[in-house]
């Protein structure tokens, strides 16, 4: 009987002691993203609301309920949503201390961005302090540090979420293209583009060619308020060309493809996202990018609503 009592007493004392013995729990998560992109997402509160799941959900529903306060003196900022607060302090250039409060539950953890030898691989290291008791009995449960790290990983590894557009690598589909080129006044480019397609369509009909894909175009603004334009239509085969209309035969290779739907004059946002993707993934552009009008209808002006794909030949 005394032995049982003694065993119970020892266990009780051990459990009580476990509440007061501090331990550190660390974890490291690999992310398919470059070092600077990971660091940038942690540096600014405006980025946290894009990828931290709780913040993103509230911000997308009602941005007014998401309040950001900067604390420049302490190299910190806070983000508040109903019943949930983040206080993020930059402890070192690569380490952030996060105080997260959900109702009456309070969590403190550190996040460090760790570089690797691979250009598009970065590690996110997390550390949190807790009692030995909580470490033993809650080790299998997801904690605030792991949730935040996984939210960031999911966001960075999703091109649509991170770059803002659906981007993917595809093979070349426009293998034979009949094209015509002009340099025109920028203010007149839409009318001139329509005229160029009329010429191409007439050439296609005259030579019994079959159209294989929607119309494509490449437009490059020059410094003297003029635009260098290439209009093209993919066809099934090549035939003898003339001084105004030529054939371009695209070699096999890779294309970075992005999709855009909206006001034509704002399509540069897709170009910027694609060029960032190319830099981030250490690719090289090997030819002039072009756009393809998916509804086969060219924009009448800069305010036209368009649906298009943009193609960047890459290596």
Tokens 């009780």 locate to 12
**Confidence at residue 18, expressed as pLDDT on a 0 to 100 scale:** 44
Query: Are 179 and 247 contacting, i.e. CB atoms less than 8 angstroms apart?
Result: yes
**Confidence at residue 17, expressed as pLDDT on a 0 to 100 scale:** 47
CA dist 313 and 172 (Å) reads 8
pLDDT in tens, 155-197: 999 999 999 999 999 999 999 999 999 999 999 999 999 999 9
| Least confident piece of the model among 40-54, 111-125, 130-144 | 130-144
Tokens 């309920």 locate to 65
**Confidence at residue 233, expressed as pLDDT on a 0 to 100 scale:** 97
Nearest to 90 by CA among 102, 101, 78: 78
**Confidence at residue 15, expressed as pLDDT on a 0 to 100 scale:** 47
CA dist 232 and 196 (Å) reads 9
pLDDT in tens, 189-230: 999 999 999 999 999 999 999 999 999 999 998 877 899 999
* pLDDT of 295 strictly over 90: no
- Return the percentage of the chain with pLDDT > 90, whole number: 81
Within 13 Å, how many C-alpha atoms sit on residue 119's CB side? Answer: 6
| Least confident piece of the model among 20-29, 107-116, 119-128, 256-265 | 20-29
Indicate the average pLDDT of the chain. Answer: 90
Q: What is the pTM of this model?
A: 0.83
* pLDDT of 91 strictly over 50: yes
pLDDT in tens, 2-12: 665 555 555 55
Angstrom distances, CA of residue 217 to CA of 121, 294, 295, 297, 308: 36, 12, 14, 12, 11
**Domains of the chain, start order:** 21-157 (3.30.530.20), 158-173+253-315 (3.20.80.10), 175-249 (no CATH)
Specify the higher pLDDT residue, 143 or 138: 143
Ramachandran region, residue 197 (left: φ > 0; alpha: ψ -120 to 50; beta: rest) = alpha
Query: Are 124 and 113 contacting, i.e. CB atoms less than 8 angstroms apart?
Result: yes
The conformation of residue 250, written as its DSSP 8-state character, comes to: P
């Amino acid at each position: 009987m005394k032995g049982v009592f003694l065993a119970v007493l020892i266990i009780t004392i051990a459990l009580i002691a476990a509440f007061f013995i501090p331990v550190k729990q660390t974890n490291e998560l690999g992310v398919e993203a470059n070092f600077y992109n990971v660091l940038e997402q942690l540096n600014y509160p405006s980025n946290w609301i894009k990828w931290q799941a709780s913040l993103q959900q509230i911000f997308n529903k009602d941005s007014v309920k998401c309040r950001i306060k900067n604390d420049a003196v302490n190299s910190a900022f806070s983000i508040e949503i109903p019943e949930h607060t983040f206080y993020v302090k930059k402890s070192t250039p690569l380490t952030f201390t996060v105080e997260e409060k959900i109702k009456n539950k309070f969590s403190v953890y550190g996040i460090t961005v760790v570089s690797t030898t691979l250009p598009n691989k970065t590690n996110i290291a997390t550390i949190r302090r807790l009692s030995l008791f909580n470490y033993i009995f809650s080790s299998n449960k997801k904690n605030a540090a792991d949730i935040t790290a996984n939210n960031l990983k999911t966001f960075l590894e999703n091109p649509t979420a991170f770059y803002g557009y659906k981007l993917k690598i595809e093979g070349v589909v426009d293998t034979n293209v009949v094209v015509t080129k002009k340099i025109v006044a920028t203010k007149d480019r839409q009318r001139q583009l329509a005229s160029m397609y009329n010429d191409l369509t007439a050439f296609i009909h005259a030579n019994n060619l079959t159209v294989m894909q929607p119309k494509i175009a490449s437009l490059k603004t020059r410094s003297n308020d003029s635009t260098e334009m290439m209009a093209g239509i993919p066809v099934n085969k090549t035939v003898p060309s003339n001084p105004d209309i030529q054939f371009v035969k695209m070699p096999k290779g890779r294309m970075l493809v992005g999709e855009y739907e909206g006001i034509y004059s704002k399509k540069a946002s897709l170009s910027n996202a694609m060029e960032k993707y190319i830099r981030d993934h250490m690719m090289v552009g090997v030819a002039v990018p072009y756009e393809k009008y998916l509804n086969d209808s060219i924009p009448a002006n800069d305010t036209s609503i368009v649906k298009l794909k943009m193609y960047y030949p890459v290596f």
